[in-house]
Copies of this chain bind each other. A is one copy, B any other.
Amino acid sequence: MIRFFEKAPYAPVEYCYEVEEILYKGKSRFQEIMVVSNPHYGKMLILDEVVQMTERDEFFYHEMLTHIVLHSIPNPRKVVVIGGGDGGVVREVLKHKSVEKIFFIEIDEEVINISRQFFPSVSSGVDDPRVEIRIMDGAEFLAKQKASDIDAVIIDSTDIIGFARSLFTAEFFRNVKNCLTDQGMFVTHTESLHFHKDMVIEIQETLKEIFPVVDLYTTSIATYPGNWWAFAVATKGTSPREIRNTFQIETNYYDDEVHRQAFVTPRLYEKLMHGKLKW
């Protein structure tokens, strides 16, 4: 049996997957890209030895990263997606009929191309006319925005090391704020509450220096080490807990009940932020 040992940063446990077939292995300018097949998960996308996505359960992450904010912003029109070269977030954003324009900013064009080839059901939206692909650093893209006309900025980066680090600085968060509309929202994954609690807290604290409203929600992602995956939302005043769009979109997991339940409870949030939870 061929096995793949995941080298996830900061994780105190290594995940080991059976590999039926190595479908692709190559190096881009930025990272090693691999596509393998697994008996349970189907095809898996692996970047620098870390699992990014699997055919079987990618919808948990992509739906939860996208639909919480897009249901809280009244009629989102312009959305910026940074990272997520597989196209999963773009596919979910396009389900919102009010969206007129998606700036899809990916630093590594190879990820988009490999996903078009191996994950057509995930990358199905990237060639939609509403999508403008820009191959560049997301931090640079946002730094150049002049108007405050973006409804949502969604970060779907790799783990918070290496080139993804530029998307988690105070300077970057200030640039995000400048380009957002008054009811706009910023959302990013912030790793696992089980394994990277300090990082989750640090990002919350940094965002709070810049945004009036910062919140935290979680969902369980089987292929991300630590599993209890945390997402930070930041806004200029509106709460992401309230659903403001009532239209129905087709999803597998996300719905309005899931939306409301995903947010970390007030008391747990307080305990987390004040270091009162021992683990």
Contact = CB atoms under 8 A, between A and B. Distances in A.
Contacts of A193: 220
B57 A194 contact: yes
Interface string A38-75: 11110000000000000011011000000000000000
A162 interface: no
A265 interface: yes
Contact of A255 (B192, B218, B267): B267
Nearest to A253: B277
Contacts of A279: 56-57, 59-60, 252
Complex A-B, nearest 9 residue pairs according to Cβ-Cβ distance, in ascending order:
A12-B40, A227-B227, A257-B265, A220-B228, A194-B222, A14-B16, A13-B15, A257-B267, A57-B279
Given A15-B16, A255-B265, 16 more contacts: A12-B17, A12-B18, A12-B38, A13-B16, A14-B15, A14-B17, A57-B279, A59-B279, A60-B279, A195-B222, A222-B227, A227-B227, A252-B277, A255-B267, A257-B266, A257-B267
Interface residues of A, number: 41
Interface string A200-242: 0000000000000000001010110011100000000000000
